A and B are shown apart, each in its own frame.
Chain A
Amino acid sequence: MKHMTEEELIAYREGVADQGALISKHLAACEECRTELERIEAVLAALDTLPVPDPGLDYGRRMWREIAPRLAEKPGRWWHVWTEPRRLAAAGLIVALIVAAFVAGRITRPGKTSDNIANKEQVRERVLVVAVGEHLGHSESMLVELSNAAPNDPAQKEVNIATEQRRAEDLLQENRLYRQTALQEGDTGLASVLDELERVLLDVAHSPGQVTPAQLEAIQKKIEGRGILFKVRVVNKELQQRQEATKPAPAQNDATSRERNKV
């Protein structure tokens, strides 16, 4: 008797076999193939026990709250894509980069193409560095406030963190934009820290506005455990250094050249 191949048995098990009826007939008569199929099924059954976390009964409502502010008035028109706040911010960033690059091109001396390119890149980097630095500063201050939050009196059953939660929601959208931009720019170190920050922001944004002291402590431990405040501070410091390093040369050269031209 010709036995079924592994490929035929897997296809049969997954319901994509071309000759399902034929395989069924063979399995009814062949113990060896049945055993082989059972071994495949045992692996798949083990995989079926892998859990998927329950996002919660209100997940649909939460999702709507998150995306609703980003939807245009009417769907389906291509230009509407650019009217959502996140895209507008990206568009603003791109326009700023183009204008800055144009201005950089105008003020640099003609004829030195490599200098021009370098200057344009510096300007692009400066715009990103300043924007992300500001974002990290806001994130840091929100996380510090949350880390220091405590019930006013020991008998208090709930602590209000609604302000931090709303700030985290706003910061989350910005963070995603900056992380994607950093990745596009090839700045993987920055993208990596923004990715970690995003996980913390996601946790805070999804917390209830009123938390018990125990829940608050759990959030604070998560922030502390991930060392995110330290990482944010380090990256922000680095960004400031990069900002200094990419600052355009002082106007001294222009003044000197003007003086020279007078002669």
Chain B
Amino acid sequence: MNRMQPSVDSTQAIAESDAIAVERTLTGDRDAYRVLVERHSHNVFRLAYRMTGNRHDAEEVVQEAFLRGYQKLGQFVGRSNFGTWVYRIAANYAIDRMRQRQKEEARREEPRTEDRDGMENDPLNRVADGAPTPERLTQSIELRKQMEQALAALSDAERTAFVMRHWEGCGIEEIAEVLKSSSNATKNTVFRAVQKLRRALQPFVETRAQARAMGTES
């Protein structure tokens, strides 16, 4: 899991400061909402990108999440903390967007151009021990392609559950609420997602590990 885990003190301080910003927003101080948007945009973007798989949709999800958050702010008071709440709104909208996107893709005749966002920053393309050999680069690109395909092949619920649990470190109850499902069913969805990813990726991961062990890459 690589969700940034702030200390308990700083989490509490942020939650308290968020609560004040929410109160002020509700009294009509629109600029107070700005604090919330600026503070949580990056986290919501990361979640949205991992769920939708492309920057274009991710940005739309972030925008919509904060707009919906503002419209429903009256319903928020007294519930969890703002970060978690807006996260949930974003996850719900991302699911809608993924479904919409699948319909569009299915109807589109030509295959969708692969989104290469972040390719230049791909850690798989960076080699700590020297310049990448063509073999290593090919393997890295192939593995990345396989990972993107494996993630895309998950159902909306499986992808949501995996992203929220594995990458964002969300609690099962929180994920269950987004999926409108029970805790046990949600745990099962996390399991199915990891199992499918494993089936699809293990051969590639192991081939790469073997090649490294045999020194064919260096």
Contacts and interface: CB of A to CB of B under 8 A. Distances in A.
B38 A61 contact: yes
A100 B204 CA distance: 59
Nearest to B59: A202
Among A11, A39, A50: residue with most chain B CB under 10 A:
A50
A250 interface: no
Contact of A192 (B104, B204, B206): B104
B195 A10 contact: yes
Contacts of B78: none
A207 B209 CA distance: 41
Interface stretch (A72-80, A91-99, A253-261): A72-80
A15 B187 CA distance: 10
A61 B197 CA distance: 36
Interface stretch (A20-28, A41-49, A116-124): A41-49
Nearest to A63: B41
Contacts of B72: 75-76
Nearest to B100: A183
Interface stretch (A51-59, A126-134, A135-143, A232-240): A51-59
A60 B39 contact: yes
Contact of A53 (B2, B55, B60): B55
B157 to A, nearest CB: 15
Nearest to B69: A75
A191 interface: yes
Interface string B51-68: 000011001101100110
A191 B42 contact: no
Nearest to A57: B42
B75 interface: yes
Given A73-B30, A75-B70, A67 B37 contact: yes
Contacts, number: 151
A76 B191 contact: no
How big is chain B's contact interface, by range? 35 or more
B79 interface: no
B160 interface: no
A75 B26 contact: yes
Nearest to A55: B45
B56 A46 contact: no
Contact of A71 (B30, B59, B62, B118): B30
Given A52-B118, A199-B56, A10 B191 contact: yes
A176 interface: yes
Interface string B1-24: 110000000000000000000000
B194 interface: yes
Given A46-B205, A47-B201, A11 B191 contact: yes
B148 to A, nearest CB: 7
Contacts of A195: 104
B149 to A, nearest CB: 12
A66 interface: yes
A244 interface: no
A75 B74 contact: yes
Contacts of A191: 104
Contacts of B121: 51, 53-54
Interface in B176-218: 187, 190-191, 194-195, 197-198, 201-202, 204-206, 208-209
A144 interface: no
A23 B102 CA distance: 39
Interface string B29-40: 010011001111
B45 A59 contact: yes
A43 B28 contact: no
The 4 nearest A-B residue pairs measured at CB:
A76-B74, A60-B38, A51-B118, A53-B118
10 contacts: A10-B191, A11-B187, A15-B1, A16-B187, A39-B202, A43-B205, A51-B118, A55-B55, A183-B100, A202-B56
